[in-house]
Amino acid sequence: MRIARFISRSFAEKRSYSRVPAKAPEMPKYLTETYWWAYVHPNAVWFFERQWLVNLILWGNFNRLRDYALNEITFPSKTLQVACVYGNFTQKLTKLSNSNSEVHVVDVAEIQLENLKEKCKNATNLHLHHQDSTNLAFEDNVFDNTVLYFLLHEQPEEARKLTISEAVRVTKPGGKVVFVDYHGPSKLNPFRYIMIPILRTLEPFALDLWKKEIKDWLPQVTEVKKDTYFGGLYQKIVVKK
């Protein structure tokens, strides 16, 4: 656990990306009380870190949605991924990057950073940071791209608003912020009625994204483009700052 924190602090100081001294963040209550079983418990990584399982959770759409997000990333660049992801999202991102690009990943849970470090142990352009998405320690306008892949639905509204604001803040003018997450599906989509009890039970904040648009939580930006997939169950929002 200490290794990930050391990487975060030493790299931030070396690059002078940090606006405040790196400090280990406290685990937010929504994570320890609502999502402990998925991200915090020691057995969570062992159970969920299976490509077939994360693909099943997204009804076979993981690879497609992953590629929709990654296709928006420009290279060479400095890219920030906000929160670790089960599955091969970050591996693909680091492989798409070249020697002139950097991939930075922040997460508030050290166990997730340790897992990602092991998954991407051969990546030379990956830098890990132990930070809270609602209060990033980076300076303004640092990254060319910022990507959030299925993070917002796991956060209560106040945390979600802060996370979105921080993602936009650390992105350079002219850069992109890419969100891929749940969306309110069409009433003709049978998965709408399957997902309602699942989300109410396991993902209590996710239905917020069915009721409000991500753009409603955005600070002032230049351009917002929205696409939906799988009968509207998923969305991709691309924000140009």
Domain count, the chain: 1
Beta-bridged to residue 18, according to DSSP, are 138
The span from the CA of 5 to the CA of 222, in Å, is 35
What's the pLDDT tens digit per position in 77-100? Answer: 999 999 999 999 999 999 998 778
What's the pLDDT tens digit per position in 22-79? Answer: 568 999 999 999 999 999 999 999 999 999 999 999 999 999 999 999 999 999 999 9
R_g over Cα of the chain: 17
**124 pLDDT more than 80:** yes
Q: What angle do CA 142, 75, 133 make, to 5 degrees?
A: 40
Return the CATH number at 130.
3.40.50.150
The secondary structure of 164-225 as a DSSP string is: HHHHHHTEEEEEEEEEEEE----TT-THHHHHHHHHHHH-TTTTHHHHS-GGGG--S-SEEE
pTM for this predicted structure: 0.91
Q: In the structure, what pLDDT confidence band is assigned to residue 5 with cuts at 50, 70 and 90?
A: very low
For residue 98, the model assigns a pLDDT of 78
The span from the CA of 226 to the CA of 5, in Å, is 35
Q: Give the residue-averaged pLDDT of 141-169.
A: 97
DSSP 27: P
Range of the domain at 130: 2-240
Environment class of residue 220 by beta-carbon count within 10 Å: exposed (0-12), middle (13-18) or buried (19+)? exposed
